[in-house]
Amino acid sequence: MKIKGAGKMAVGAVLILLAGLLLAHNLVEDHAAGSSAQAVVQKLKEQRPQENGQQDQSTIEVRGTAYCGYLSFPKLQQTLPVASKWRFSQLEISPATYTGSAADRDWVVAGHNFVNHFGRLNQLQVGDKVYFKAASGRRYVYRVAKLEVLKPTAISKMVKSKYDLSLFTCTYSGLTRFTVRCRLLQIK
């Protein structure tokens, strides 16, 4: 009887240790993602845009990735670069354009749920402002219009909306997508 109890305690201790290692790994990954994003934002602020046709479609290349600009969330005291093209691996560094564009007013941006990326979007409220500084130099001002949770299969609802900007990330369970819908207020 004592051997069975000791075995269960050992298994429990191993599981707690593994959970601690997973948490440590996630925290290190989150910190690295935040540091990478801030380094990219700094490069974007320092560089001049290289036009590739239309003014609002310009990008700036940083470390081999084209960025269309950066988003600023005053309420969250956070600024994040936005890659111009979505790749799952890109989300380890920064949010990325899932579809559309700021200029076409149908922009959808995906981001990882790292605390240092889109993990705090759920702290935004209707009425909060979101800013986008495009690589072209234009500044877009948005206001949060709606917060919603969508199923991962609701792709059509995500991309075909009446909103000018949609930001989304996985919830911590991974079973749904937390989405922030924004309306454009002005372009400067």
Residue type for position 115? V
Rounded to whole angstroms, the Cα distance separating 163 from 130 reads 13
Q: Which CATH class is domain 3-187?
A: mainly beta
Answer whether 78's CB lies under 8 Å from 72's CB: yes
Q: Domain boundaries in the chain?
A: 3-187
Partner residues linked to 73 by β-bridges: 78
Handedness of CA 111, 143, 164, 134 (dihedral sign): negative
Tens-level pLDDT at each residue, the chain (188 residues): 566 777 777 777 766 766 666 666 666 676 566 667 777 778 778 775 444 444 444 888 898 999 999 999 999 999 999 999 988 888 888 999 999 999 999 999 999 998 888 999 999 999 999 999 999 889 999 999 999 999 999 999 999 999 999 999 999 888 999 999 999 999 98
Nearest in space to 140 (alpha carbons), one of 14, 55, 34: 55
* Alpha carbon distance 61, 88 (integer Å): 18
8 A C-beta contact, residue 151 and residue 99: no
Residue 100 backbone dihedrals phi, psi, to 5 degrees? 75, -165
Residue 126: closest CA among 162, 186, 75, 164:
75
Claim: this prediction has a pTM higher than 0.85: no
Contact 82, 91 (CB under 8 A): no
